[in-house]
Amino acid sequence: MQFFLKLIILICLMSGIFLMSKNVMVKSTANLHPTESTQPHSSKAMMLKQYLQAEDKPVRIEVIDYTQRFKSDVDEIKKMKVALDPKSHFYLKIQFFTDESDKEAPLIAQISFIELPSQNLIKEESLNLD
């Protein structure tokens, strides 16, 4: 009987040590983030980057900022890397704006797809980056 109790205690100790070491390994891998220059950290930048990655690659991207309240978010968006295609037939113009008088107003990104040769608007979409 003592042998079985010692065996059960030993099994409990071993499984406890295993679970603790597994938890430490998960926490240490969660702390390994890419550098700030390669990965945007704000949710606004991530939302815009996901949208742009789902679309075709433009020749270039023009960013126009009309907001002061979200200046840091827009600056972070300007720093993010997006794949471009020099053979593409369009470019993007992204305009950021918000209602500065309303503290609850979200940051809006108005994205215009503009054809290169004719400068005609192909399509236009607005994203609520909240």
Q: Are 67 and 74 in contact (CB under 8 A)?
A: yes
One domain, residues 17 and 50 = no
Determine the structural domain holding residue 112 and report its residue range. 43-128
Where does the pLDDT of residue 124 fall: very low under 50, low under 70, confident under 90, or very high at 90 and above?
Answer: very high
pLDDT band per the 50, 70, 90 thresholds, residue 38? very low
Distances (CA, A) of 36 to 3, 50, 73, 86: 56, 17, 14, 26
Asked if residue 73 and residue 11 are part of one domain, the reply reads no
Residues 50 and 93 in one domain: yes
**Considering the entire predicted model, what is its pTM?**
0.65
In a domain, 76, yes or no: yes
How many domains would you assign to the chain? Answer: 2
pLDDT in tens, 64-120: 998 888 888 888 888 888 889 999 999 999 999 999 888 888 999 999 999 998 999
pLDDT in the model for residue 41: 57
DSSP state letter for 42: S
Instruction: Tell me what pLDDT residue 119 has.
Output: 92
Q: What are the E-state strand segments in 4-129?
A: 61-65, 90-97, 108-115, 121-128
- 75 and 118: one domain? yes
